[in-house]
Each structure stands twice: as C-alpha cells, then as structure tokens.
Amino acid sequence: MTLDRRAFLNACSCAGIASPLLPGILYTLAAQAQDAGAGSETKPPELAKITPEMLDQAAELAGVGPFTAEQKKMMLEGVNDQRDAYAAIRALKIGNNVQPAFVFHPGKAPGPNDRTADQRPGRLSESLGGNIAYSSVEDLAFASVTELAPLVRAQKITSLALTQMYIDRLKRYDAKLHFVITLTEDRAMAQARAADAEIAAGKYRGPLHGIPWGAKDLLAVKGYPTTWGAGGFEHQSFDEDATVVQRLDAAGAVLIAKFTLGALAMGDKWFGGRTRNPWNPEQGSSGSSAGSASAVAAGCVGFALGSETLGSISSPSTRCGCSGLRPSFGMVPRTGAMALSWTMDKLGPLCRSVDDCALVLETIAGPDGKDLSAAAIGFEWDEALDWKKLRVGYLKSEFDPRPPLKLTQAPPGESAEDKKKREDANTEMQAAHARRDYDRRYELAALDKLRAMGVNLTPVELPRLPWDAMVPLLTAEAAAAFDDLTMSGRDRLLTGQGIEDWPNAFRVARFYPAVEYIQANRARTLAIRQIAALFEQVDVIVTPSTEAQLIATNLTGNPAVIVPNGLRGPDAPKPPLIDDGDHDDIGGPGTPVSITFLGGLYQDAKVAGFARAYQQATGFDRLHPKL
C-alpha cells in the first residue's frame, strides 16, 4: 500500500483524532515504518525532525493556534526534545501491573482525622529560645520566631511594635530588593492590636501569636489582589482566604505583605521587575518563592510561606541563605493557592531557622476536606528526637569530584559566527565547572562536620531512572491549568516571552500525547517505589542542593529541608555579568551556600529534627546580609 499524505490527514480528522499527538509525525512514522518494513522486520523507524509545517498541521488537528513564525521557531526545540523523552520512558518496558502515579478521589469527604481551617493545631512546641538582648525594636529584625515568641508572650515587646518595624523595613528596602507586591497594612495593624489585647487578657494562642509574616502572592487573601506575579492578573482577587492563611490567622500570626513570585511561579521576574538577592542585589533572588526568601533573609518579616513544584523553595532558600522546608506532597492543603501542577505543587515555610520552619509547618499541615490530594496526616514536631539514632546516607556521586571538562572542539570549516558561539559556550562551561568545584569544598565540609558530630554516613545513590523524561508531566498539567492563556492569546501579557518561558512551554505542552502523559506517570510510580525502598535503608539523606535530587524528589513527593551552609570566601569565582536565573551557584564572594537533607514520605519531622541538629552545630543561620 502506498501512503498519500493528504488522504492520511483527512482520515485522521474523520476518525476523530483530535488529540495533541502530532499528525505530521503520525504520517512520517507510518511512511518510514512502511519503508523499513520492506527490507527488515525488526528495524525501528527513524523519527524525522519536527518541522514548522508539521506544527501547523498538528495545531489545526488539535484545535489550537495558529502560531506565528516566531512562536513556532521557539517551539521546535521543545517539541523535539519532548518527543525524545518518550523513548526514555518506553525503554523502561513498564509492566501492565504498574499504575500511574495519581489517584482521583471524586466527592472525597473529610475523614475523622481531617482538620478544618479554623482549628488550632493539636500541639505546638513550647520549648522556645532564651532571652535575646536588644535596645530597640529594630534590633529584633533578624531574630527567629523562637526568640520573638517569648518576648511577645511576656509582653516585653508588642505585636504592634514588631508589625510596624517590619512594615517600615519592607517599605525601606523594597526599592532595592523589589520583594513586595501588596502590603496588607490595614489588616496587619488590626491583627496586631487584637493579638496584643488577647495576650494581655491571658489568651495566648501559641508561638506564632502576634508574629508578622508574609505570603507568596499565589495565596488568596480576601480583600487584596492575588496577582500570581503575572501580567494580566494584577487586579485579580478572590472572596476567600487560602486554607493556610486561615490557619495562620487562627494561630494569631499577623499577615503584613504579599510577596513577589516569578510570573505564574517561574523564576524571580514578575510584572513589576525582578526580585533581588539581599546578599548581592545585582542578582535575582531565584524563584519562584522570590519575595518570600528575599524578605526573610533581609530581616523584613518574621517568616514567610512559599511553594514548590520543582525547586521554588529550595532555590531561593539557597540563593538568599534561608532555612526552607519543602513538605511531603499532600502534607499541606493547597486550597486557595494557584495551581500549577496538581500532582507536584507543595506549600511550605521559608524562615530563619529549622525550628521556625517546624513551628509554621505544624500550624498549616493536615487536610482541610477540600484539597483532594491532602493526606490525613499532620506534622508532629518532636524536639526531643534522638537524631543520633537515625540512619544517615549521603548521595556519594554528588559529592565526588567531577570528571575533567571536555570542551567542544572546532569542526572542519567552522564559520566565524559559529566559532564565537562555540567559544562563548566553552567559556560558560569552564566558569560553571569552576563554580561547582569551589562550592564542593563546602559540601565536603558538611560531611566532615556530620562525622565530627558522631554521624555514621552511608553512601547511597538515587535510582537510575530517566528523571528528566518525566518533567513534561509538570508542563502538561501547567498548560492545562492555564489553558485559557494559550487559547485566548493573553499569554502575550506575561513578562517572559523567551524559549524557556511559560508561553512557549504551554504551547509545546499542547503536543504532549495523552498516552505519553500516562506512561510517564507509570514511570513515576516506579520512581516512587524505588525512592521508598531507598528510605527503608536510611532515615535521612544528605545531598548538595543540586538538580539531580531536586527533580527526583519533587516527582516522588519526598520532603526536603534546605539550610545555609556558610558563605563563599573572597577567593570565590566571580559571578557572571548576566544572571539568567537558571543557576543557584553564581552568587560570588560573600554569598550563601546551602546543604539539603531529604526524608521519607511523611517523615518531615524526622528529617527536620536532623537538619535542626546540624544547624545548631554550625550556626550558619545566624549569618545575615549587611543591607
């Protein structure tokens, strides 16, 4: 049989094939398979590169577009890479008994252990820090919650005074750091006055009572805009507070600001500019919990909430020198938060210490009966945890020396333009290699410190799986979450319009086949099983805050605690002139580094307890930028 292209496409259309699967590629596969079959029964078809014409045909069949020539040019690399990822998943040869890594709960009703948004947490730690010396309220700017809470409870300082001090600092430093989208000043002053009155009357709610905090502006707060950091959403508002906001209100915490995030939770660029790193304001704060990390690090708020889908708590905590706790998936309900990826989004605290993170997580954890993914489990902080009994592993290959750098060599007949591109790429590779080698000394020092603490470290490795090939799950869900932006053309209002930005990523994701989405989720099930098996061998894993574990554990939903691990010295490699926002190790002299501790699913308190022990032994959380 000979294949006719037009007849083939018409047949697809008549057959109702209106999925995002590329019809041009269907035809190419069929034609090449026919050619291959003529001479061999086993030769697999070679896939032709996807062309702009194929995108046009596929867009028409899928009912999207039309796309401009520039948009298609940006899409081609992503669509071809996305298709290459299918092969990595298919190579796993997943058996029929492996289910996808998602569960649908239609009409799920709250269970007996579910807590409602206005309930106080069952138990808050009362063992707080000792007295802190200060001569003015400004001296408390960098104090931890565990230091502030006893002062507020004893009425040595008022919530109103703290609130006014932090609001003044936000106003003072916002021009330099660009971390505030909306000040909630009226709400905050009312809450602070109420907290002081309650405490004076002996009605103390717990360690967060009267403590000022800030919310990443993807959390709904009634009466104020919730912008998601994105152009076109500047005036968006909702009529109900997010569950976590309600819970912090119930604990007596004082919301003073809604902080910046990269547009639709990507990076640190938002519709008002770019949020800056307090240690080096020439650079971004990383993202997407950009404002939350920057404000905490700058001593402009007691604590903050952020979110992570693929690095958005870890990265800004690393860049800004905060303590971040990314909870297990499902530990904290996301009701009232912007959805980016329903199977990966997580809400968590960014604070000045692990102790503070634990106090906040204990307050916001537990299902609310609305978020179908929220687990019927809370966070139970145990300060008496005997961390010396924990089995501790470390990702050996991530601490090992890197292999020698192989620079790209000049091909025959290289043009002057291509030569410059190659040389520029080699220069960047050399710089990145030097930065990584420099930071490795801090990571090795962390292992030495742990051994000095009496920790027996067991070498472990992540399962060998095609982790990168599962990442399109995120963009597919994100494209669905923001379907209207692509279909209406409102994606042009977003700040970023480059090849790595959401508008292009959403368009590329339209061509991710439903079958491949499900196959990648089944591969994710294998990943969850294998990571769970790893945590049967150890309780905690120590790792650099690098991409390998970051992708893996966000896909599997495991918790992570990120803590400061010192400051780079004056001999550190100088930062690049341009911060592309893609790397957290470019700070240069005098900027923070971090170390990460991973735990088993819902073992958040255990991994936080171990991270707390390391933090108390090192004291790096006491380092602050000089603004």
522 assigned to some structural domain: no
Q: What is the pLDDT of residues 31-87, one digit of tens each?
A: 444 454 444 444 455 778 889 998 998 888 778 888 999 999 999 998 988 888 888
* Contact between residue 230 and residue 288 where contact means Cβ atoms under 8 Å apart: no
* Contact between residue 609 and residue 352 where contact means Cβ atoms under 8 Å apart: no
The pLDDT assigned to 197 comes to: 98
Distance from C-alpha of 129 to C-alpha of 234, rounded to nearest angstrom: 40
Lowest model confidence (mean pLDDT) among 92-101, 127-136, 167-176, 427-436: 127-136
Asked if residue 28 has pLDDT above 70, the reply is no
The pLDDT assigned to 3 comes to: 43
- The sign of the dihedral angle between the CA atoms of 199, 204, 207, 210 is negative
Percentage of residues in the chain with pLDDT exceeding 70? 88
Confidence band, pLDDT 50/70/90 cuts, at residue 7: very low
Backbone torsions φ then ψ of 105, nearest 5 degrees: -120, 80
Q: What is the pLDDT of residues 559-578, one digit of tens each?
A: 999 999 999 999 999 998 88
Task: Render 379-416 in DSSP notation, one character per residue.
Answer: ----TT--GGGS-EEEEHHHHSPPPPP-PPPPPTT--H
DSSP classification of residue 577: S
SS3 of 36-68: the string is HHHHCCCCCCCCCCCCHHHHHHHHHHHCCCCCC
46 assigned to some structural domain: no
Distance from C-alpha of 19 to C-alpha of 332, rounded to nearest angstrom: 34
The pLDDT assigned to 18 comes to: 42
Instruction: Look at 404 and 460; give whichever has higher pLDDT.
Output: 460
Element (H, E) at 3: none
Angle, helix 354-364 to helix 145-153, in steps of 10 degrees: 70
Domains in the chain, number? 1
Scan for tokens 């020539």, then name that residue: 69
328 assigned to some structural domain: yes
Instruction: Look at 213 and 37; give whichever has higher pLDDT.
Output: 213
Lowest model confidence (mean pLDDT) among 203-212, 283-292, 442-451, 493-502: 493-502
The pLDDT assigned to 48 comes to: 85
User: CB-based contacts of 612: which residues, under 8 Å, 6+ apart?
Assistant: 353, 354, 355, 358, 387
73 assigned to some structural domain: no
Confidence band, pLDDT 50/70/90 cuts, at residue 129: low
Burial class (CB in 10 A: 0-12, 13-18, 19+), 75: buried
Asked if residue 26 has pLDDT above 70, the reply is no
* Separate counts of helices (H) and strands (E) for the chain: 20, 15
11 assigned to some structural domain: no
Distance from C-alpha of 403 to C-alpha of 377, rounded to nearest angstrom: 43
User: CB-based contacts of 512: which residues, under 8 Å, 6+ apart?
Assistant: 20, 82, 472, 475, 476, 479
Q: Considering the chain, what is the average pLDDT of its residues?
A: 89
Confidence band, pLDDT 50/70/90 cuts, at residue 293: very high
* Contact between residue 48 and residue 32 where contact means Cβ atoms under 8 Å apart: yes
Helical ranges in 577-624 per DSSP H: 604-618
Angle, helix 159-177 to helix 145-153, in steps of 10 degrees: 150
Q: Which of 58, 55, 72, 51 is nearest to 18 (CA)?
A: 58
Write out the two tokens for 47.
């896939």
Q: Which of 362, 379, 373 is nearest to 337 (CA)?
A: 373
347 assigned to some structural domain: yes
The pLDDT assigned to 446 comes to: 98
Say how many Å lie between the first and final Cα of the chain, rounded: 74
Distance from C-alpha of 455 to C-alpha of 447, rounded to nearest angstrom: 9
16 assigned to some structural domain: no
Here the CATH number for the domain that contains residue 213 is 3.90.1300.10
Write out the two tokens for 453.
């603490």
**E strands within 140-227?**
180-183, 212-216
Distance from C-alpha of 524 to C-alpha of 99, rounded to nearest angstrom: 9
The pLDDT assigned to 578 comes to: 83
Confidence band, pLDDT 50/70/90 cuts, at residue 328: very high
Longest CA–CA span in the chain (Å) reads 89
Asked if residue 105 has pLDDT above 70, the reply is no
Domain that holds residue 298: 94-405+437-461+539-618
Strand partners, 414: none
Distance from C-alpha of 110 to C-alpha of 376, rounded to nearest angstrom: 9
The pLDDT assigned to 98 comes to: 79
Confidence band, pLDDT 50/70/90 cuts, at residue 1: very low
Q: Which of 287, 303, 290, 288 is nearest to 253 (CA)?
A: 303
Lowest model confidence (mean pLDDT) among 32-46, 173-187, 452-466: 32-46
Distance from C-alpha of 457 to C-alpha of 463, rounded to nearest angstrom: 19
Asked if residue 460 has pLDDT above 70, the reply is yes
Instruction: Specify the pairing of strand 323-326 against strand 560-567.
Output: antiparallel
Confidence band, pLDDT 50/70/90 cuts, at residue 207: very high
Lowest model confidence (mean pLDDT) among 339-343, 401-405, 595-599: 401-405
Task: Render 268-334 in DSSP notation, one character per residue.
Answer: SEETTEE-EETTEEEEE--SSSHHHHHHHHTT-SSEEEEEESSSTTHHHHHHHT-EEEEPPTTSS--
CB atoms inside a 10 Å sphere around CB 105: 8
Scan for tokens 């966070």, then name that residue: 379
Q: Which residues are catalytic?
A: 216, 288, 312
Instruction: Specify the pairing of strand 180-183 against strand 273-274.
Output: unpaired
47 assigned to some structural domain: no
3-state secondary structure of 439: helix
pTM for the model: 0.89
The pLDDT assigned to 602 comes to: 96
Tell me the one-letter amino acid at 479. A
